[in-house]
Structures are given as structure tokens and as C-alpha cells.
Amino acid sequence: MSEINSIVDFLEAGIKAESLRQKAITNNVANLQTAGYRRIDVRFEQLLAKALDSNGSADLDEIEPDVYQPKQTPVKSNGNDVSLETEVGEMVKNTLRHRAYVGLLKKNYQQIETAINVR
């Protein structure tokens, strides 16, 4: 991929990260009662910001969303640290971000379409 990133590349990477994060949240909710399970989260925006800071552009093929265990929430007696409230909040945030990215992508395509249709 070229070093100069287009809007579509960024949005694509963002949507990819959001769907992975949605998977992580689903996994957390599914393991709400699993003893010893620690919740997982996805780190992507921070990595992208870091790459953009150092280079001014980022190779979006190189920057992979990173699945990690934050280990910041209080652990229950069975060694599990998933809170349903947190996961619901994360899901709402994730949905809103996803919608924003898809909306921007749609707008971008609409602009291209307008350009094509000019006679």
C-alpha cells in the first residue's frame, strides 16, 4: 500500500477494528460467569495515532488491531473481571463509532458518484 493514505483506507481500517472489538465484547459477555476469565479489549486507535505521530503517514497493512487484557477492572471472587454494565457501555460506544465510520464512507462514495454524474 502506498504511504499516502486515502480517507477510504482509514475508514476501512477503523471499521475492521470496530468489528474485531465487537467480537471481543461478545466474547466477554459470553464469558460473564466463566471462572478465571479476564476481559479482553482491542487496541487500534492508539497504535494508529502513534504511527501517524512518528511518520506522518501509516502503513495500514502493518498496523494490526491488537487484542489484549486490560486487567483494570475489579476481579470477582471467581477470578472473573467482566462487568455486564461495562460491556454494554463498550458496545454502545462501539456501535456509535461504527456508524460514524460507515456514514463517512457512504458520504465519500456519494461525492465520487456526484463527480461521475456531472455532465
> Interface with other proteins by CB under 8 A: which residues?
45-46, 49-50, 52-53, 83, 85-86, 88-89, 92-93, 96, 99-100, 103-104, 106-107
Q: How far is the CB of 119 from other proteins (least distance, A)?
A: 25
By beta-carbon proximity to other proteins, the closer residue of 71 and 76 is 76
Element (H, E) at 25: helix 7-30
Report the alpha-carbon distance of residue 113 to residue 94 in Å, rounded.
29
Q: How far is the CB of 102 from other proteins (least distance, A)?
A: 9
Q: Which three cell numbers stand for residue 107?
A: 458520504
Q: How far is the CB of 13 from other proteins (least distance, A)?
A: 14
Residue 8 in contact with residue 60, Cβ under 8 Å? no
Q: Which three cell numbers stand for residue 17?
A: 477494528
